Amino acid sequence: CTRRAWMPPSRCPPLRDTPSASPALWRALPCPAAELRLDLVLPSGQTFRWRESSPGSWTGVLGGSVWTLRQERDRLWYTVYGGEAGADTDRCLREFFQLDVGLRELYRAWGAADPLFREAAKDFPGVRVLRQDPVECLLSFICTSNNHISRITAMIERLCQAFGRPLCHLGAQPFHAFPSLAALTGADAEAQLRALGFGYRARFISGTARAITEGLSVEGLHQLRTVPYAEARRVLCTLPGVGTKVADCVCLMALDKAEAVPVDTHVWRIARQRYGMDAPSAHPLSTGDFFRGLWGPRAGWAQAVSTQPRAPQGSALTPQLTPSLPTPGPLLR
């Protein structure tokens, strides 16, 4: 995604809620609800930078720009503040939501293999996995240890406001880019993070930022997209504050490892209660292998649907109570 320049407050635009208000500033991609439900994906705990700015409209930061998204009549509408929408922004959005992956076909395959999935899928259409920037995804998920979505979202907002480049204001709401690694490796970065309420995670965030800058490199992190899942997971687990669950989240949501199945207490409980993994020999670390055997090479995507708590289709989901991916929990860091 092309990074855009910051607009000073005097040039801040108003929030654009719907395409009908300023049709020339909006652009649309074909996208039926069966392929994507913004209300199920964006507040699910995959990303922490989007909020429902008005009913049915979602505003957040992607690729160094501020966007508002909305779904109407099998179209994914979007507007980008501070720049023109076109082929590049289409591509950026398609990559972020991985719209080239046909979700309905996958739902049918998973349903044929798993009656429990088939039942869950009736209430949760359009749940797909995002493809995020690896650095942002990694540092964000380090914040998820022993935490919940609303608090993580507030922490990431404080992180971006304190260390990130300002982008624009929409009304009174400021938006910032995700911090650069240079900003997070400064001499006082850890102390600043502690002052912002990050606690023990402050050391892990600054330590991982430094480990990438001085060792793995940003290019090396991106290149993990091309290596086997087990190798990518192994490399991630060498970084400060990264255990198996965080590594699997990053593998799934940033490194193109669709087979990664993050396991926490919520997923382990579902595996035991719904899928019978309650034998004495069963172990949380074997859960991923079990689901990969059941759902196949995109097991991580299937998990995003099957581990949803039961709720009526179309209901408003409260993110901290009904995440579509594993809630941050103490079982596996």
Residue 186 dihedral angles phi and psi, to the nearest 5°: -65, 165
For 291, residues 6+ apart whose C-beta sits below 8 A from its C-beta are 261, 271, 299, 302, 303
What angle is formed at CA 54 by the lines to CA 49 and CA 57, rounded to 5 degrees? 65
Q: In the annotation, is 245 catalytic?
A: yes
**Alpha carbon distance 322, 42 (integer Å):** 12
Pair of tokens at residue 162? 């304190």
Q: Which of 322, 280, 311, 293 is nearest to 124 (CA)?
A: 311
Tell me if residue 227 falls in helix, strand or coil.
coil
Helix (H) or strand (E) holding 152: helix 149-163
The neighbour count for residue 298, using CB atoms within 10 Å, is 19
Q: How many CB atoms lie within 10 A of CB 126?
A: 20
Contact 229, 256 (CB under 8 A): no
| Cα–Cα–Cα angle for 113, 108, 272, rounded to 5 degrees | 40
Burial (CB < 10 A; 0-12, 13-18, 19+), residue 313, is exposed
Query: Rounded to a whole number, what is the distance in angstroms from the first to the last CA of the chain?
Result: 31
Contact 307, 273 (CB under 8 A): no
Q: Which residue has the tokens 């501070």?
A: 82
CB 87, CB 283: distance < 8 Å: no
Residue in 4, 131, 245, 257 annotated catalytic: 245
3-state percent breakdown (helix, strand, coil) of the chain, nearest 5: 45, 10, 45
Residues marked as catalytic: 245
